[in-house]
Every structure is written in C-alpha cells, then in structure tokens.
Amino acid sequence: MILRHGIKLDQQKAASLRHKIQDLPTAENQKKTEWLPLRKGELNSNAIIAAAQAAGIVDEFDGVPLFRKLKKLRRLKPDMIVACCFDEDPCTTSAMATLRENTNAIIAGLVLAGKACGAKENKIAVATKHEAKMIQKINPQADLILAGEMYPARALLKRKLFANRKNAAYIGAQACAALLAAIDDGEPQTSTVVTVAGDGVEHWRNVRARIGTPLKELLEFCGLSEKTSLVVTGSSITGRAVTDLNEPIAATTRCVIALKKAPNYKEYPCIGCQRCARACPRGIVPWKIQQEMQNAKPNLVRLTNVQKCIRCAACTVACPSGIDLTGAVRKAAQLKKSGDFIDIT
Amino acid sequence: MTLLNAKTPYLKKETSVSSMMRDTLTALAFLLVLPVARYGARPLAMAAVTLVACVLCEIAWSLLQSRSINTSDCSSMVTGLIIVMLMPLNAPLWLPCAAAAFAILVAKKPFGSTGHTPFNPAAAGMAFITLLWPQRIFSYFNPSAGEVLPVFADCNVETAPSPAAVLKNGLKPDILPFDMLWGVFAGPVGATGILVLCACGLYLFLKRTANWEITAGCLFAGAVMAALWPRIACAPLTSIKYELMSGSLLFCAVFMLTDPVTSPRTGFGRVLYGLLAGVLIMLFRRYGAYEQGAWFAILLANAVVPQINSLVCGDRRWGEELYEE
C-alpha cells in the first residue's frame, strides 16, 4: 500500500491572493495604539520573551501567548524552529499573503524566536514548490521546507520532521512578524490578517483588521451579500459557525467564510472504504472507533490511539458516507479519559 | 439576515458514496462501448431493461416497507449493470431482470441496503439464475458468424463454445491473441474486452474507488494456480494466458470482488481475500459442474470476510512514526 496520508482538497486560494493585504479602515473614536517603550541593552532570550509578553503577541495557529510558548520551548530545547507560512484550509491565504509581503520581517522575527528558545536551525515552511520559488526570488537566503498541500498539512509536516529525527518547534507567521515589530519599534500586536472568502462575499481579500473589530465590519468591507446564511470563522473544516456578527475578531481568526448555502450531507452507512484511516495523520482507525462506539458498552481496549486525536477532522472530510467520525473519536477519547466503565451519554 | 448554526465541515466534498457508485457506473458503461459498436443496440437495450428492473425492485421494496424511496446512491444500478455484463448477448431480456430482482429483493434490501450486505448482491443474483437456467447462461452466440441480433426480441442464433467451456473440456481454445485482447470471442457481454477491462480497472484504482490489493491478489492466485496445475497440456505461460483471459475472472476481480462493503477492511486482509477468491475461482473451474463459477467463489469468499476482519488486527497501523503533541 502506498503510504500517503492526509486528503487532497480542492484549493481555492488564487482569488484572495490576487490582491495585496488591505487595511480595514478603523473608526474615528477608536483608541490610538499605545506604543511600548523601546528596549535598550543586550537582546538576549529573556529580553525577547519580555518584549513578546509586553506586546501581547498570540500565536495565531494555536492561540497560545507567544511568551508562554517561547518559555516552554526554551525549556524543551528544540533543534529547529519552523515558521508555519502555509494554510491548510482550502480558501485561507492569510499566512501565505503575510509571508509574500513581509518575507524579511518574518525571517528576522523567526531568527529572534529561535534565539529566544535556543534553536539552531530556522526554517520557513511553505505549501508548494511554486510558493517556495516565489519566496526565493524575494529573499534568496530564506531557508524553506515544503509542507505540501495535503490536509492536515501541519500535522503531516510534524510527522515528517519527527520521522527525520528532528526535534522541531512551530510558530505562526504573523506571530513572527509581530515579534520583530515589537522588538524593533515597540509595537504591540493590535491587528491580524484575516482572509475573507466564500460565495457570500463579493471580494475575496486578505484584510488587516484590528483585533476586536466586529466581524460585521470586516464582512461589509468585502461586500457581504444579503443571501448569506452561514458565516464560519477559523477554517472550513474545523471552524465554527457564527450566529452573531457582532462577535469580535481574535488574534487566532485567520479566516472568515461567508456561505449562501450550508453544505448538506446525506448520511449513508459505513461502506468500509478505509479513506478515514488513510486520512488520519495520527494513526487512528476512525471507522473502527465509530463501530465500537455504536455498541451499548464500548470496550475501552478497542478504542486504540483515540487520545492522540488532534481534531483535524480529516476523517470526517474524507468519509464518503458523511459520517461524523471526529465526533465518535472525541466521544471515545472522553470515555477513555473519564474511565467511565458503566454508563456513557 | 439570519445565520445558521450548521455542523462542520463546511466545504463541499469531492467523494461521496453516490460519486463512488457513479465512477463504477461510468467504468461499466465503457465496457458497453465495444459490444455496441460490434453487435448493435441489443447490449444497450439489455442494460436499460435491467436498470429499470433494478430501480423498480428498489422502489417496490421501499413501498412494501413503507419507507421513503431513495435511489440516489446508485448502488442498485451498479448491481444491475454488473449482471448485464455477465450475461451472454443472446440471452432473453427477462434473464438479467430475474437476476436483478433476486439481487435487490433477496440479497440486498432485506439486509438493510448498501453498507450492510454480507454478500455481493450481483454475485447472488448470478448464482440464482445459474442454478435455475444454466444452459441459457452458458450458451454464447458466435461473434464470427456475423449475424445481426434483434434489439428486443429473443434470438435464435448460432452458438459457439466459449474459451472457458473449451478449457473445461480439456482442449485448447483456438483464438488469436489479438482477438482475445479485443474480445472477439464467445463470452459474456462485458467480460471479453480484456483491454477495456484493464483500462476501466486502472481508472477505478486511480480514483481509489476500488482497491487494487484485492484484484492483484485474485489475479496472482489465479495465475499461480494456472501455472502449477494447467488444465490443458501446454506451457505454464499459455495456461496463464487462457485462464486469466477466458470466462469472467478478470471482470469479477475488477468489479465484483472490489465492492468495498463485502470486502475486508485492512490492507493485509484484502490481499488475503483476493488470494482466497482467486483460488476458489480456479477450483470452481476445475471441479465445478459449470464451465465457470466465479460468482459462487465470490459468495464463498464473502462469507469468510468477517473472519478475516477479526483475524487481521486493524486497530494499529504498522510502520508509523508518531510525534508527541
């Protein structure tokens, strides 16, 4: 069997990458950014972490404050630090656009982050060879690795580097750029790049918006259609439907998708095609978990690997029968954690 | 503007059960091209009548059970077309319909439709009519006689023994290799065009609708059996050639064995299943009462699938490097 993990998704990145990142106009009465005092003295690990803390930088991929992440990494001593400049989601391009426009800032920020946690190698992970060529043109010194276009790219990259015996740490592209801004200019992280996509908006754009701006403003800036019936933040696979457009943009909001019609899946019984097991980057066999969870009393021994699930939902996307396999695995993980042998609801 | 609170995922999927079934239908439809080009519209008429019969049976069962009628997954059409492909072209049109009715009403629907069938419905239908009308199933018309077949009416045309029947009698089939590849010999409608079959198989494997492990296992087992115990006195390679290209072994290996519902769910289990089916098909040819009994072999192999599934542990995947989160 050809060991190829993950699933190939239909990429729709071209539309939002055609334009440069645009700034969302801010309201008049909004408070001006308070710049931080510039740091003086030697730039060592402690100073970088303190600057990240003062600037309030949050890693946009996992929502962890950067200073906490760097402190943890300093303790773990990784060999390599990787800036994730690719987007797993088929219509998100915020990380790619940030890299294209701030290549040098991201490289400098990555070097700083590497210095803070003591990593010797710095690498920038991009999705495709085409993208890598483009970045090489901007900065020939950029040290690039390919993450590929299979979903979930981040987990698959982690797997690949782990198999190559590399102890790697991962950091977001925007966090890298924000770290450099914080150290060079004393600028706190107040804005984030968000991709707006979907058939419910007129213009697919990458927009730099202030953190805390309501989603409504962002969507209206891109020409929100009246017929939109579903707004998703995060990603089209693991994201969350928003019912109130006054919800603010967070540092972790990389993508907002407005759809006119919610996709409708017909659910069929499992046909045993094994696509879910092939898609899973964590070695879970989701159909088996689902089968076991359908029993009145699931046997915990048979729920193998469920605690390793990273909720990437690749299995659910891969399933041709439209079964919610991620839900089954999550339930199994909860069951296993709780040690509840008698009753589950 | 009211916003929905829909469930994830929010993207349109490329593969669904119905798209997989449509892939199979496309591949099966390609098999009809050669017979239609050669013998006129009769194959098309046969396919149409059987498809209608399949859908009617499905609707009838839904009405009987007072459930909502749902034929969107196309699985009954796949069953119907597979049955047509295994028929001789001169068979009366009610024969594939009888097989389809048995397949849908007895082998598929009572077990709970797609995803729950323990036995391949098409194989069950073929086995049913083979037991009832063996002379009609195995009397193939002679393609080299050049007779025109009527589109709908029953036809009384000159018949010729198929290569499988010749082999069963211990003789060597007298067919040119080129004719064998293009399917110019007496045999089932869709199972003779070896080149088209290979192309369709490749299409299904590349689309990942069918699993190549099963087909490879089956063909390997068939080839080994043919080489080690040839039925006719000839070189092992000649024996392999005739055994693999005659009858419906290749067709069954590509379209019937690879049905994901009735095949094992682990890679190793699939290879095992393919090997078992290949050996059984060859044993049916050698010792069976009929010139070939691939569908009986498939039914027997299907019966072993639950055992293979529980025998081969599929909880963990081998050779995996997992990082710690």
pLDDT tens, residue by residue, A36-68: 777 666 788 888 999 999 999 999 988 899 999
Instruction: Please tell me if residue A2 touches chain B, with a CB cutoff of 8 Å.
Output: no
B-proximal residues of A, 62-91, CB under 8 Å: 90
Instruction: Please tell me if residue A337 touches chain B, with a CB cutoff of 8 Å.
Output: no
pLDDT digits (tens, 9 = 90+) for A307-333: 888 888 899 999 988 899 999 999 999
Q: What is the mean pLDDT of chain B?
A: 89
**Stronger pLDDT, B267 or B253, i.e. the higher one:** B253
State chain B's maximal CA–CA distance in angstroms.
80
Residue that terminates a domain, selected from A148, A165, A185: A185
In a domain, A284, yes or no: yes
Is residue A194 pLDDT above 90, yes or no?
Answer: yes
In a domain, A7, yes or no: no
From chain A, pick out residues whose CB is under 8 angstroms from the CB of B3.
228-231, 241-245
Given a contact cutoff of 8 angstroms between Cβ atoms, the answer to whether B199 and B254 are in contact is no
A41 lies in the same domain as A180: yes
In a domain, A3, yes or no: no
pLDDT above 70: percentage of residues in chain A: 94
Domain of residue A38, residue span: 18-24+34-185
Dist. CA B253–CA B191, nearest whole Å: 11
A164 lies in the same domain as A137: yes
Q: Which of A245-254, B120-129, B163-172 has the highest mean pLDDT?
A: B120-129
What is the mean pLDDT of the segment spanning B135-151? 83
Residue in B14, B17, B321 nearest the CB of A321: B17
What is the mean pLDDT of the segment spanning B75-102? 94
Instruction: Please tell me if residue B192 touches chain A, with a CB cutoff of 8 Å.
Output: no
Q: What band does A28 get if pLDDT is binned at 50, 70 and 90? A: low
In this prediction, does ipTM exceed 0.90?
no
CB spacing of A245 vs B9 below 8 angstroms: no
For residue A73, the domain's CATH number is: 3.40.50.11540
A214 lies in the same domain as A80: no
pLDDT digits (tens, 9 = 90+) for B53-69: 999 999 999 999 888 88
Dist. CA A102–CA A138, nearest whole Å: 10
**Stronger pLDDT, B88 or B177, i.e. the higher one:** B88
Q: Which one of B2, B10, B214, B324 makes the best mutation probe of the A interface by having the most chain A beta carbons within 10 Å? A: B10
Residue B175 has what pLDDT? 83
Instruction: Please tell me if residue A256 touches chain B, with a CB cutoff of 8 Å.
Output: no
* CATH number assigned to the domain with residue range B17-310, chosen from the 4 options 2.60.40, 1.10.3470, 1.10.3430, 3.30.70: 1.10.3430
Is residue A343 pLDDT above 70, yes or no?
Answer: no
Residue that terminates a domain, selected from A150, A166, A185: A185
Instruction: Please tell me if residue B23 touches chain A, with a CB cutoff of 8 Å.
Output: no
pLDDT digits (tens, 9 = 90+) for A114-131: 999 888 889 999 999 999
A46 lies in the same domain as A179: yes
A253 lies in the same domain as A329: no
CB spacing of A271 vs B115 below 8 angstroms: yes
Q: What band does B324 get if pLDDT is binned at 50, 70 and 90? A: low
Residue A272 has what pLDDT? 86
Q: Which one of B5, B7, B11 makes the best mutation probe of the A interface by having the most chain A beta carbons within 10 Å? A: B11
Peptide bond into B9 cis (omega under 30): yes
A58 lies in the same domain as A153: yes
Dist. CA A226–CA A228, nearest whole Å: 6
From chain A, pick out residues whose CB is under 8 angstroms from the CB of B261.
271-272
Instruction: Please tell me if residue B156 touches chain A, with a CB cutoff of 8 Å.
Output: no
Q: What band does A299 get if pLDDT is binned at 50, 70 and 90? A: confident
In a domain, A49, yes or no: yes
User: Chains A, B: CB contacts under 8 A, how many?
Assistant: 142
Question: What H or E segment, with its residue span, contains residue A344?
Answer: none
Q: Which of A2-6, A259-263, A338-342, B214-218 has the highest mean pLDDT?
A: B214-218
CB spacing of A239 vs B3 below 8 angstroms: no
Residue A344 has what pLDDT? 45
Task: Enter the pTM of the model.
Answer: 0.86
CB spacing of A287 vs B265 below 8 angstroms: yes
Residue A2 has what pLDDT? 45
For every residue of B152-192, DSSP letters joined together read SS-----EE--HHHHHHTT------HHHHHHT-SSS-TTTS
The residue in chain A having the minimum alpha-carbon distance to the alpha carbon of residue B4 is A230
CB spacing of A158 vs B323 below 8 angstroms: yes
A59 lies in the same domain as A135: yes
Q: What is the mean pLDDT of chain A?
A: 87
Query: How is chain B split into domains, by residue range?
Result: 17-310
Is residue B167 pLDDT above 80, yes or no?
Answer: yes
Residue that terminates a domain, selected from A185, A220, A236: A185
Q: What band does B43 get if pLDDT is binned at 50, 70 and 90? A: very high
Instruction: Please tell me if residue A269 touches chain B, with a CB cutoff of 8 Å.
Output: yes
A49 lies in the same domain as A166: yes
A52 lies in the same domain as A175: yes
In a domain, A268, yes or no: no
Other beta carbons less than 10 A from residue B29's beta carbon: 14
Residue A6 has what pLDDT? 83
A242 lies in the same domain as A318: no
Instruction: Please tell me if residue B73 touches chain A, with a CB cutoff of 8 Å.
Output: yes
Is residue A32 pLDDT above 90, yes or no?
Answer: no
A200 lies in the same domain as A315: no
For residue A233, the domain's CATH number is: 3.10.20.600
In a domain, A29, yes or no: no
What is the mean pLDDT of the segment spanning B8-29? 87
Q: What band does A345 get if pLDDT is binned at 50, 70 and 90? A: very low
A211 lies in the same domain as A164: no
Residue B321 has what pLDDT? 62
Coil, helix or strand at residue A80: strand
Residue B325 has what pLDDT? 60
Question: What H or E segment, with its residue span, contains residue A146?
Answer: strand A144-146
Residue B154 has what pLDDT? 81
Dist. CA B230–CA A276, nearest whole Å: 42
- Tally of domains in chain A: 3
**Stronger pLDDT, A1 or A27, i.e. the higher one:** A27
pLDDT digits (tens, 9 = 90+) for A260-274: 988 877 888 888 888
Residue A1 has what pLDDT? 35
